[in-house]
Amino acid sequence: NAGVTQTPKFRVLKTGQSMTLLCAQDMNHEYMYWYRQDPGMGLRLIHYSVGEGTTAKGEVPDGYNVSRLKKQNFLLGLESAAPSQTSVYFCASSYGSNTEAFFGQGTRLTVV
Amino acid sequence: GENVEQHPSTLSVQEGDSAVIKCTYSDSASNYFPWYKQELGKGPQLIIDIRSNVGEKKDQRIAVTLNKTAKHFSLHITETQPEDSAVYFCAASITSGRRALTFGSGTRLQVQP
């Protein structure tokens, strides 16, 4: 099993450009999450989904949009990238909210 | 929403010594407390977790304790080894409201050989 796969692994964007980060899981998990990791701030929740077709805002949702059209995929979009969105982005999935979350390898995004 | 504070931010120990990392949480409804280990360039991986109906859990050299009254939980690593060097995160979650893990800010553990 591949677990949680994130695409791409690295990306450099110019301010104002848009992009989509793709997360795919093969564990049939209902819950999926997008976190960002910044030095000294741990992992902060951007958006999450409790099932196909559902999304909800997390702690830091501004500037991001998400979609969960298929159970196995969770997409994170940046419509107009800003330098403040330079970060490492992690996708995760879990069976429920109180069960082990499995993380992808991360996407390192730099906005210049 | 939930707030999780983690201390210390960095911890250096000699190989063979014990390491303790502490976390506090704000929402008394939190009932699941996992600990994750993150190695350089990788995503976090679960190492141990505890639920609110249990006070202590042990897995070989790793143990976690939970004090619901004080709203704090701790990770204990005994007989540390160089491969324990990593960043450790505590987290908390509830089954209502925002149904996702809230993480602490992380502890960078360095085990000196």
B61 pLDDT above the threshold of 90: yes
- Whether residue B41 contacts residue A6, with contact meaning beta carbons closer than 8 Å, is answered with no
Which one of B9, B89, B98 has the shortest CB-CB distance to A43?
B89
Which one of A4, A41, A45 has the shortest CB-CB distance to B105?
A41
Q: Sorting pLDDT into bands at 50, 70 and 90, what band is A41?
A: confident
Q: What is the pLDDT of chain B when averaged over all its residues? A: 95
Residue B44 and residue A90: Cβ atoms within 8 Å?
Answer: yes
A1 pLDDT above the threshold of 80: no
Residues of B in contact with A4 (CB under 8 A): 43
Which one of B6, B43, B102 has the shortest CB-CB distance to A90?
B43
Residue A98 and residue B1: Cβ atoms within 8 Å?
Answer: no
Confidence at residue B98, expressed as pLDDT on a 0 to 100 scale: 72
- Whether residue B71 contacts residue B25, with contact meaning beta carbons closer than 8 Å, is answered with yes
Which of A50, A97, A102 is the best residue to mutate to test the B interface, defined by the most B CB atoms within 10 Å of its own CB? A97
DSSP A6-40: EE-SEEEE-TT--EEEEEEESS--SEEEEEEE-TT
- CB-based burial of residue B77 (10 Å sphere; 0-12 exposed, 13-18 middle, 19+ buried)? buried
- Span B15-38, average pLDDT: 96
Q: Sorting pLDDT into bands at 50, 70 and 90, what band is B52?
A: confident
Pairing of strands B4-7, A19-25: unpaired
For B82, the 3-state DSSP assignment is helix
Q: Sorting pLDDT into bands at 50, 70 and 90, what band is B2?
A: confident
B8 pLDDT above the threshold of 80: yes
Contact residues for A75 (Cβ-Cβ < 8 A; gap 6+): A20, A21, A22, A23, A66, A67, A68, A69
Q: Tell me, what DSSP letter sits at residue B94?
A: -
Confidence at residue A98, expressed as pLDDT on a 0 to 100 scale: 87
Instruction: Lay out the sheet containing A4-7: strands in order across.
Output: A4-7, A19-25, A73-78, A64-67
B64 pLDDT above the threshold of 90: yes
Confidence at residue B36, expressed as pLDDT on a 0 to 100 scale: 98
CA angle A110, B1, B5 (to 5 degrees): 70
The amino acid at residue A45 is L
Q: Please give, rounded to a whole number of angstroms, the shortest distance from the CA of A80 to a CA of chain B.
A: 26
A47: nearest CA in chain B? B100
- Span B75-79, average pLDDT: 98
- Output the six-digit token pair for A2: 């591949």
Distance of CA A35 to CAs A77, A88, A102, B6, B42, Å?
Answer: 13, 8, 12, 18, 14
